[in-house]
């Protein structure tokens, strides 16, 4: 004999399903609870962490570029060249925005600092969009009881 009972306790928060099976002298009961809010929060937090990771790496590379320009690194060096090329891709919208002061080969890249500020705001904006949009997943917890019938 098998019976199933579906109950919704605040349907937007959790869903519970109880299944009971009786076999001779034993009764097997399973209670499954889906916590929609917890799963939604877990997925949202992971995506937000990923977005922050990507933008932190990008901002760190741009900050490194600012330091390499401030303490004049050899642009022919492989590491400096790679850093400049990679960050150029993200900083091209800001090139020529303001004049970058230079003295004795040292350059204070104001455009890179502005780019860091703008990219930080873009990353924050992505996080806010994720928080607003993501909300349709569930977690499931199953509790099983086996007891001997008398």
Dump pLDDT digits (tens) for 112-139: 999 999 999 999 999 999 988 875 555 5
Q: Rounded to whole angstroms, how far apart are CA atoms 20 and 105?
A: 79
Same domain, 18 and 48: no
Q: Which two tokens stand for residue 47?
A: 């995506």
Q: Rounded to whole angstroms, how far apart are CA atoms 52 and 59?
A: 10
What does the pLDDT look like over 26-52, one tens digit per residue?
A: 888 888 877 777 777 888 899 999 999
Range of the structural domain that residue 80 is part of: 43-133
Same domain, 128 and 144: no
Residue 24 contacts residue 127 (beta carbons within 8 Å): no
Same domain, 63 and 48: yes
Same domain, 49 and 108: yes
Same domain, 108 and 122: yes
1 — pLDDT class (breaks 50, 70, 90): very low
Same domain, 72 and 143: no
Same domain, 49 and 21: no
B/e letters for 60-69, b = 16+ CB within 10 Å, e = fewer, are ebbebbbebb
5 — pLDDT class (breaks 50, 70, 90): very low
- Per the structure, the count of domains in the chain is 2
Residue owning tokens 């569930």: 138
Query: According to the model, what pLDDT value does residue 37 have?
Result: 73
Q: Which residues pair with 106 in a beta bridge?
A: 103
Q: Which two tokens stand for residue 4?
A: 């199933």
Q: Does pLDDT of 81 surpass 70?
A: yes
Same domain, 103 and 85: yes
Query: According to the model, what pLDDT value does residue 136 have?
Result: 58
9 — pLDDT class (breaks 50, 70, 90): very low
Look up residue 13 and give its DSSP letter: T
């Amino acid at each position: 004999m098998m019976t199933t009972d579906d109950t919704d306790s605040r349907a937007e928060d959790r869903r519970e399903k109880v299944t009971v099976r009786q076999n001779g002298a034993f009764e097997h009961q399973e209670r499954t609870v889906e916590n929609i809010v917890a799963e939604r929060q877990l997925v949202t937090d992971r995506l937000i962490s990923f977005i922050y990771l990507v933008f932190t790496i990008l901002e760190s590379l741009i900050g490194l570029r600012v330091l390499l320009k401030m303490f004049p690194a050899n642009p022919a060096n492989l590491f400096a060249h790679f850093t400049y090329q990679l960050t150029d891709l993200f900083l091209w919208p800001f090139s020529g925005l303001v004049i970058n002061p230079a003295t004795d080969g040292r350059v204070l890249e104001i455009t890179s600092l502005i780019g860091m500020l703008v990219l930080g705001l873009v990353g924050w904006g992505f996080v806010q969009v994720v928080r607003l949009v993501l909300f349709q997943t569930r977690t499931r917890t199953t509790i099983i009881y086996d007891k001997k019938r008398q």
